[in-house]
Amino acid sequence: MDYKRLIIRGISYSQTQSGAYALLLEDEETNVKLPVVIGNFEAQSISLGLEKDIQPPRPLTHDLFSKFVTSTNYTLSSVIIYQIVDGVFFSNINFKNNANGEELILDARTSDAVAMAVRFEAPIYTTPQVLNEAGILLELNDPTNTDENIDVVSMEGDLQSLPLEDLKKLLDDAVKDEDFDTALELQHEIKRRNKKIE
């Protein structure tokens, strides 16, 4: 099978389903985008997996399962989004035993598969058929839509008017309260300011 490698382009509130998010994956060769509707918890988990420097006070479900996989001497080698039926994506998580090379394939929701893949920095693939059926071609010329900037809905109030020290304190408080959406928004503002300083 000729698989197409996907990269994560962003996460935003879903325009079609209330209370849901859209995970935007992109074929790295053709720039065809694959939008996947995911839940709030999975969106937070993927975002936290991408932001390696934010650690929740207690492990999330995907962190716990990742630790279990590692402790049993397995590695997550890849994720394959292999099918779409009535708008629902089907995915496999491919594991490899580090001791004997034996492979293990588990069926998973795509949102969970991606949340695991980011923790292992494993590649995400799909089939040409899935891209043809569900892919869209968008031009993302907006400079805020980069791999480092996950598009999260803005917080109330203007972060740009707050001093850097206040932002850092708010970030610490948000992580302690497990308010990861706010934490990510604050983290992006702090990173934006640090880039200007450099």
- 141 and 160, same structural domain? no
Which of 152, 139, 158 is closest to 188 using CA atoms?
Answer: 152
Q: Count up the domains in the chain and report the number.
A: 2
Q: Indicate if 182 and 125 belong to the same structural domain.
A: no
Q: Are residues 117 and 20 in the same domain?
A: yes
Range of the domain at 192: 154-198
Q: Let me know if 112 is exposed, middle or buried by CB neighbors in 10 A (0-12, 13-18, 19+).
A: buried
pLDDT at 189: 78
Amino acid at 36: V
Residue with tokens 């996460």: 11
Could you count the other beta carbons within 10 Å of the beta carbon of residue 196? 7
pLDDT of residue 179: 66
**Are 85 and 105 part of one and the same domain?**
yes
Give me the residues of the chain with pLDDT under 70, please.
1, 15-16, 138-158, 175, 177-181, 183-184, 195-198
Residues 64 and 139 in one domain: yes
pLDDT of residue 196: 59
Q: What's the confidence (pLDDT) of residue 150?
A: 33
Measured distance CA(46)–CA(69) in Å, rounded: 17
Residues 119 and 195 in one domain: no
User: Based on the domain organization, do 144 and 181 belong to the same domain?
Assistant: no
Q: 66 with 147, same domain?
A: yes
Any residues with CB less than 8 A from the CB of 150 and at least 6 apart, and which? 10, 11, 47, 50, 184, 188
Do 112 and 166 share a domain, yes or no? no
50 and 103 assigned to the same domain: yes
The sign of the torsion formed by the CA atoms of 38, 41, 45, 47 equals: positive
- The pLDDT, as a whole number, for residue 194 is 76
How much is the pTM? 0.69
pLDDT reported for residue 156: 36
